Amino acid sequence: MADAASVETFMQQIADEYESLSRQLKVIAKYIEQHKASLMLEKISDIAAACEVQPSAIVRFAQRFGFTGFSEMQDVFRQSYTAQSKTAPNYQQRIRKLIATRADELQVGELTREFIDASRTGLGELAKGLDDAQLEAAVALLQKADNIYVIGVRRAFPVATYIAYALQNTNKRVHLVSGLGGMYRQQIRSVRERDVVIAISFAPYGKETQYCARVAHHQHAKLVVITDSTMSPLARIADALLTVAEGSAHAFRSLTSTLCLCQALLIALAYKLELDIEETQDPGGYDD
């Protein structure tokens, strides 16, 4: 596959061509999406058994996307894992790597400007990639919602907190699913058909957020997803899907673009709600 620069590129191609795949190949596509983190370790026979297909179907799937066979397709996932493993997994190790790769001491102003540049790049990508139809759909869902539940964990938690704060300035009933005391299940259990759940999640995708999204889907509530890829595990059950790819500096990802997107989304909602009030109020002072 000539343009398979990354797992992300490959997964996007699968998403783009998913509807044109045969039933068997769709099963394989879903398996790959759900197991991409471990695919580099799996045998073709194990994947075939899990998908209830013959190994030859796995080979056909690989060839459908331009690979010579399963091994070449698997190499994409192996190379991605190798690249990720070379990136320091925690803050302390990332800082140590930054120190080790520079001959001189990094000044605070220089470091700050690098993060500003990364954030600016991310904002530019956000502006270019905006899907107006999905934005309109998200606002419309929030506008009609009886209750709005907001869920985001770890890195996405500050975003969820901001959304909940901003929504408190509207007339909407809002619930931050914080998981305080480990009670994600209890906090999301009251979601109903006329409600909306806003789920914010980025790779490697928090299991708590995925659980709350599944509950919302099962209860026929609407789901607004803010994530980093159309192949996110939340994407397929989203009623409105907003994707955002953040800029990064020294392996630290920004939240600038995500917060900008959410702020704009909520201002748009407030605008629509105010229009609703204007349209329903008696203007008074005018004769028929």
Tokens of 202: 């980025």
As its CATH architecture, domain 128-280 has 3-Layer(aba) Sandwich (3.40)
d(CA 29, CA 21): 9
Give the CA count within 13 Å in the CB-facing half-sphere of 178.
10
Q: Given CA atoms 229, 234, 183, 173 in this order, what sign does their dihedral have?
A: positive
pLDDT band at 87 (very low <50, low <70, confident <90, very high): very low
What per-residue confidence (pLDDT) applies to 104? 67
* pLDDT at residue 96 tops 60: no
Tell me if 200 sits within 8 A of 156, measured CB to CB.
Answer: yes
CATH no. for 7-86: 1.10.10.10
pTM of the model: 0.62
Percent of the residues in the chain that have a pLDDT greater than 90, as a whole number: 23
Q: What is the pLDDT of residues 30-74, one digit of tens each?
A: 888 877 767 777 889 989 998 999 999 999 999 999 899 998 888
d(CA 35, CA 50): 11
Domain ranges (residues) in the chain: 7-86, 128-280
Three-class HEC string of 69-80? CHHHHHHHHHHH
Residue count of the chain: 288
* pLDDT at residue 213 tops 80: yes
Reference 69, options 1, 129, 116, 117; nearest CA is 1
Answer yes or no: same fold for 7-86 and 128-280: no
